[in-house]
Chains A and B, each alone.
Chain A
C-alpha cells in the first residue's frame, strides 16, 4: 500500500512539472510569436521581400547607380505601406457592413453604354490574334455587343470579326469572345455603318459586306 502512495505522489509530481512546463512553453511561445501585421519589413500585401532584404541588396557592389536609386525609393514605399498597416491594426474599424451596399448590384443602365463606331481595339484584342481596324459597340437584345473588324494577323487577305458579348447585369460574369472569318478574299474589314440589327462592313477593295448582329453571320 505504501508503495502505491509513493507511486501516486511521484506521478503527481511529474504531472505538476509537466503542466508547469506546458504553460511556460505556451507563455514563451505567445511572447515570442511575431504579430503577423507587424512583421518587421514584411511590406504591404504583395510585397516581395522584407525591407531588411532590400536594404541588404543595396550593399551589393554589382548594383549600379540607377538600380540603387530605384531600390532606395522602393524601400521608402514599403516603409510608408507598413506605417499605414500599423495604423490600421492599431485602430481597426468595426466590421459592420454598410447596409446600402449589401444587395445585388443594379443592372447597368443602357444609356451608360457608349454606342457607336470607334477606332482601334481598346486593347481587347491581341495583336497576335488579329489586326483590328475599328469596332462597333451597342446594345443588342439586352446585351452589350462589340464587333471588332480587321484581318487575321499576318494574313491581311483573310478578313475577320471578333464579336464580344456581355450582360448588362454586373452580377453576372458572362463575357464571350467569338471569331468569324469573312468570305474568301475579302481582305481586311472595317465597320462602315451601323443599322438596326446589322452592320455594313467595307472590304479591302471597297465593296460592302453585311453582318447580321442577331444571327451573327455574314450576309452576302
Chain B
C-alpha cells in the first residue's frame, strides 16, 4: 500500500514537532536540574548533580583504587607537611565525586628526652633521628590537615582522617625510650589538641585527627605496650589506629603458631587486646606479604575475637607499602621481594577472607600505602 503525498508530509511534520518538544522538555529538565559541577563557593552547599536523564546520588569514594599515601616522617617542617596534605587535597579536587581518606603520619618511636633544651615527651623521627616534642608533632599534623583543606578548593565534602603515629619500638637499656603510660597520655592530649585546633579553625568539616600506633609484636612486651595504650585511654577523646603487624600468629598452614618472636612472645588474647580489645583501638593492618600470610593472620585473629569475645574485628582499612618498593625485582633478602603487595592486592587478600566467613564479614573501606617521606 502506497502512502499518499499529503499523509507523508503530515507525518513528517508531526515527527518534527514531537522532536522539537522533546528537545524543549529535556532542556527545561536540564535547566531545572542545573549543570553538573562542583559548587563555586566553599561555604555553599553543592547542588546535586543531574546527569540527564537520570538523577545521580553522590557517594563517598574509597577502596583500593582511591588509596592514600601515608608517610614515615623525617621532618616536621610546616611547609613540607602542608605540601603533603595539599597534594592529597589537590588530588581529591581533581577527582569526580567525593573521597574518604585515611593517612597515617608516623613520627617514629616514643621518647622522653631533652628536646629543644628541655625534658619532654615526643618522638624520634625516621631517617634524620631528630627529636621532636608533642607541640612540633601537633603542628606538623595540623599543617598537613590545613594543606588538605585548602587544596580541596570547592570540593567541600571530601574528607580526611589523619592518624598521628608513633610505634612501640624499644631496645634494651635504651636511654630515652618511653613507650609507657605517661607517653600514651601525653600523646592522647596532643591528639585532642589537634582536633580542638581543627574545630577552632573551621577545618573539622573535612579534616579530623586520630592517634596511630605501629604496634609490632616483635618490638616490645605486651605489658609495656598495654601500658602505653592504657595511658592513651586515660586521656583520649578520639580513636587510635593500630597499623602494626602480628608476626608469628597463626595462619592457615600453621594454625597453632605462637604469636611474636623471642624474647617477645604474646598470647592470642594479648594480641586481641592491642588490635581491637582496647577501647579506642581500630586495626589498619599491614597486609604486605605476597603469599597472603598477613591477611590470614588478621582474619584468624578476627575469628578468635568472635569465638572468644563474641565480637569480630572491624577493619576500617588496610595498609600496604608498595610505594616503598618502586622496583620490579629485588634480591631475596630485600623485604620488597616478598612484601610488596599493591593496595589492590592487600585489600583484596583481607577483604576476601573476612567476607568469606559470616562471623567476620564486613566491608573494608580504606586503603593507605606507606612510604618514607
Interface residues, chain A, with chain B CB atoms under 8 Å away = 4, 7-8, 11-12, 15, 18-19, 22-23, 25-26, 29-30, 33, 35-37, 44-49, 57, 60-64, 66-67, 69-71, 73-74, 77, 80-81, 84-98, 100-106, 108, 112-114, 118-120, 122-124, 126-130, 137, 144, 146, 152, 160, 164, 166, 170-171, 173, 175, 177, 179
Contact = CB atoms under 8 A, between A and B. Distances in A.
Interface residues of B, number: 113
A27 to B, nearest CB: 9
Interface of B: 10, 14, 17-18, 21, 24-25, 28-29, 32-33, 42-43, 45, 48, 50, 55, 57-60, 74-75, 77-80, 82-83, 86, 98, 100-102, 108-109, 124, 126-131, 143, 146-147, 149-154, 156-157, 159-161, 163, 167, 169, 171-174, 195, 198-199, 201-208, 210, 214, 216, 218-219, 236-239, 241, 247, 261, 276-280, 282, 305, 309-311, 314-317, 323-324, 331, 333-335, 362, 365-366, 371-373
Contacts of A101: 78-79, 82-83, 143, 146-147
Contacts of A77: 236-239, 280
Given A48-B282, A113-B130, A127 B204 contact: no
Contact of A48 (B50, B208, B210, B314): B314
A149 to B, nearest CB: 14
A25 B79 CA distance: 48
A84 B159 CA distance: 13
A119 B171 contact: yes
B150 A26 contact: no
Given A73-B280, A77-B237, A177-B334, A19 B28 contact: yes
Contacts of A45: 100-102, 159-161, 208
B21 A144 contact: no
A104 B309 contact: no
B14 to A, nearest CB: 7
Given A101-B79, A108-B128, A19 B334 contact: no
Contacts of B14: 7
B369 to A, nearest CB: 12
Contacts of B311: 57, 60, 62-64, 67, 70-71
Contacts of B151: 97
A63 B331 contact: no
Contacts of A19: 25, 28-29, 32
A119 B124 CA distance: 14
Contacts of A96: 150
B98 A93 contact: no
| Interface SS of A by simple majority | mixed
Contact of A128 (B156, B324, B335): B335
A116 B202 CA distance: 43
A49 B282 CA distance: 12
Contact of A103 (B43, B79, B334): B79
A58 B57 CA distance: 31
Given A88-B204, A108-B128, A146-B127, A22 B334 contact: no
**At the interface, is chain B mostly helix, strand, loop or mixed?**
mixed
A49 B80 contact: no
Nearest to A160: B333
Contacts of A64: 309-311
Q: Which 3 A-B pairs have the closest CB atoms?
A: A88-B205, A88-B204, A93-B202
Contacts of A179: 331, 333-334
A60 B310 contact: yes
Given A69-B279, A114-B131, A173-B371, 4 more contacts: A19-B32, A67-B277, A85-B208, A97-B86
Given A11-B21, A22-B29, A63 B204 contact: no
